[in-house]
Structure 1
Amino acid sequence: MKKIITLIITSLFVFSCHKTADNAPADTSATDAKPKTLVTIAYPSDTAQLNNEITLNATATYLLKSDVKANSNGYITKMTIKLADRVSKGSVLFGLQTKEARALGNTINKLDQSFRFNGATTVISPATGYVAMLNHQIGDYVQDGEILATITDAGSFGFVVDVPYEYLQIIKNKGSLPITLPDNTTLQGKITKIMPSVDAVSQTVKVLLQVSDHTIPENLIGTVRFSKTSASGLSVPKMAVVSDETQSSFWVMKLINDTTAVKTEITKGIETDRYIQIKSGNVTTKDRVIVSGNFGLTDTAAVKIQKP
């Protein structure tokens, strides 16, 4: 009898356990554990003006440098300039005394004081500019035609830009270009000369941009920017556009709801340092596109919008 009672109790306990397991809710942790990528979003714009800019280096230089030459054999007795001085055309730079005058001048003056023979000559500046080089000092003996100094011609100062030939017509049409210096100041450069030759290797043409400020040191390098093409229309932030390894196809990841992003193929237009024009693609200004966290996402990827 005791065995029968024990068997009945055991059966009831097993039946109760099975019933409890059947009534337990299903485990949903597998579906809830799907990972989500943190992303930030932005909206496309249809008001941005996109300019495809070209940046070139511009080097400050003097195209013309004039040599100051001795006009006779003799000793330098006077020098009115120092290195880097600014001089005007026609100003006296040097005084010369011939060897014969130095030897005979005092003797002749003693014989006849009214003669006033000194054999001195002056050398004047051939241009307005700065003293770039000094080759002699007072007391040196020089020969006729010898170079005493070099003067940079201020009228030939400007920035030389090596312009690819394909952009030469664009440069000609503009007439002037802004030049940005390393300290971020900007000068307006007027196109005054275009060299009639092309570099055989780089296929560039030298263009001179003259500026009004002649205090800029020679060989200073600035930058010149000009627009190659411009356009307006729908555009997205540059970081929103993703491409394949061959750069042959492009797309954006667009949100269809708060947690799902789909891959949307686009055709690129003009590209700047901030925006990319969308020439075609299923994107509007009301769509939300991913600008960070989009690399490596697959179509219909699970995402989570990161609050700024």
Structure 2
Amino acid sequence: MTRKIISLAALAMLGVISCRNKAEEENTPEPVVPVTVTSADTTAIESFTDLNATTSYLIKNTIKANTTGYIDRVNVASNDFVKRGRLLFALKTREAKVLGNTVNKLDPGLNFGNALLVKATSDGFVTAVNVQKDDYVQEGDALAVINDAGSFAIVLSLPYELRRYVAVGQQLDAYLPDGTIIKTRAERFMPTVDPASQTQNVILRYSGSQPIPENLVVKVRIKKAMARNTISLPKSAVLSDETETDFWIMKMTDDKTAIKIPIKKGIESGERIEILSPKLNPNDRILTSGNYGVADTIKVKITNPQH
């Protein structure tokens, strides 16, 4: 009898403890997640790709000796900018150098010792001077190299799968490393594709007056699509599964609650993503932080109350 009473008392005590724990669980407040929110943007959004391109002089003129002889005069140095027709070198043949003065004394009208002049064939920067005064050269030897100023271009290596987004005559923006944006025009496509990278070189012309050095790496923006009168959100507002097949956002239903909303996304542009469905209103508040790895419904505290 005593054992029965003890057992009943123990069961009663367990029941009391269980009820107390259940009551405590029910009274435990749900965790509140600090979040930031944003609203949907209705401005146009465009999809683009930025590709590397390199500035280059397509024509490099080699200035050659027009006779065999000695360099009598050097009138140019590396990095000089020269105009077409400027005197660069004067050459004298071996015979003129040895016999010139003697022959001219006999008959000054012969001008036997006159130097042969070598002039610039184009405007441009001199990138190399290979000789100095009194050097002996053979006819056809390279005396200097001039980058033809008229051949300046930006060479874009375009992946062939993006070929449909660029056309001859199309204007493209190029971004210099210092933040300057210049306008270029697609002039022509080179007839071959690189076998390893499967890229095709596109020649972009720049007609501005700003001096740009050779071999500068710039970014060229290729516009792929434009969506007007659309809804977009920051990339931080859009979440996905590991395979990136399902996408969703966390939307505020009141000042303290956010719920998971599956979405269908459109084009991506920089830091924004187009939302095709569901239709969002400009007044909707969407989580941009505190939204990762949470339940489908959460209690939140907005830390940027201006939204």
Structure-2 residue corresponding to 1:147 = 142
Deviation of residue 130 (structure 1)?
A: 1.1
Structure-1 residue corresponding to 2:290 = 293
C-alpha distance in 2 between matches for 1:101 and 1:174: 54
Deviation of residue 114 (structure 1)?
A: 4.1
Structure-1 residue corresponding to 2:130 = 135
The aligned amino acid for 1:202 is: S
Q: Which stretch shows the higher mean deviation, 90-99 or 111-120?
A: 111-120
The aligned amino acid for 1:236 is: L
Please say if 1:44 is aligned against 2:59: no
Contact 1:102–1:119 at 8 Å: present in 2 too?
no
Structure-2 residue corresponding to 1:302 = 299
Structure 1 portions without partners, runs of 5+: 1-25
SS state of the match for residue 217, structure 1?
coil
Q: Which stretch shows the higher mean deviation, 186-195 or 215-224?
A: 186-195
C-alpha distance in 1 between matches for 2:109 and 2:28: 118
Alpha carbons of structure 1 residues 230 and 67: separation in structure 2 relative to 1, 3 Å:
same
Deviation of residue 149 (structure 1)?
A: 0.4
- What is the aligned counterpart of 2:69 among 68, 71, 74? 74
SS state of the match for residue 167, structure 2?
helix
Contact 1:179–1:189 at 8 Å: present in 2 too?
yes
Alpha carbons of structure 1 residues 267 and 173: separation in structure 2 relative to 1, 3 Å:
farther
Structure-2 residue corresponding to 1:190 = 185
Aligned counterparts, 1:96-135, within 5 A: 96-135=91-130
- What is the aligned counterpart of 2:231 among 223, 231, 234? 234
Structure-2 residue corresponding to 1:177 = 172
SS state of the match for residue 299, structure 2?
strand
The aligned amino acid for 1:250 is: F
Deviation of residue 108 (structure 1)?
A: 1.8
SS state of the match for residue 196, structure 1?
strand
C-alpha distance in 2 between matches for 1:270 and 1:115: 79
Contact 2:54–2:156 at 8 Å: present in 1 too?
yes
- What is the aligned counterpart of 2:212 among 186, 206, 216? 216
Contact 1:75–1:98 at 8 Å: present in 2 too?
yes
Deviation of residue 242 (structure 1)?
A: 0.8
Aligned counterparts, 1:78-89, within 5 A: 78-89=73-84
Contact 1:154–1:214 at 8 Å: present in 2 too?
no
Percent sequence identity is 42
Based on CA coordinates, which of the two structures has the bigger radius of gyration?
Answer: 1
C-alpha distance in 2 between matches for 1:109 and 1:74: 19
Deviation of residue 173 (structure 1)?
A: 6.0
Alpha carbons of structure 1 residues 148 and 214: separation in structure 2 relative to 1, 3 Å:
farther
C-alpha distance in 2 between matches for 1:73 and 1:189: 44
Structure-2 residue corresponding to 1:267 = 264
Spell out, residue by residue over 1:48-92, the C-alpha distance to the aligned partner (whole angstroms, 9 max, x if none): 211001111121101111110001111111111111111122222
- What is the aligned counterpart of 1:53 among 48, 51, 54? 48
Aligned counterparts, 1:158-177, within 5 A: 158-172=153-167, 175-177=170-172
Deviation of residue 29 (structure 1)?
A: 8.2
After the TM superposition, which parts of structure 1 deviate over 6 Å for at least 4 consecutive aligned residues? Answer: 26-29
C-alpha distance in 1 between matches for 2:50 and 2:171: 15
Deviation of residue 111 (structure 1)?
A: 3.0
The aligned amino acid for 2:218 is: G
C-alpha distance in 2 between matches for 1:261 and 1:128: 67
C-alpha distance in 2 between matches for 1:174 and 1:274: 29
SS state of the match for residue 122, structure 2?
coil
Q: Which stretch shows the higher mean deviation, 164-173 or 62-71?
A: 164-173
Please say if 1:276 is aligned against 2:276: no
Scaled by the length of structure 1, what TM-score is found? 0.85
Structure 2 portions without partners, runs of 5+: 1-21
SS state of the match for residue 99, structure 2?
helix
Spell out, residue by residue over 1:136-172, the C-alpha distance to the aligned partner (whole angstroms, 9 max, x if none): 0111111111010011111111110011223223221
Contact 1:95–1:123 at 8 Å: present in 2 too?
yes
- What is the aligned counterpart of 1:243 among 227, 240, 244? 240
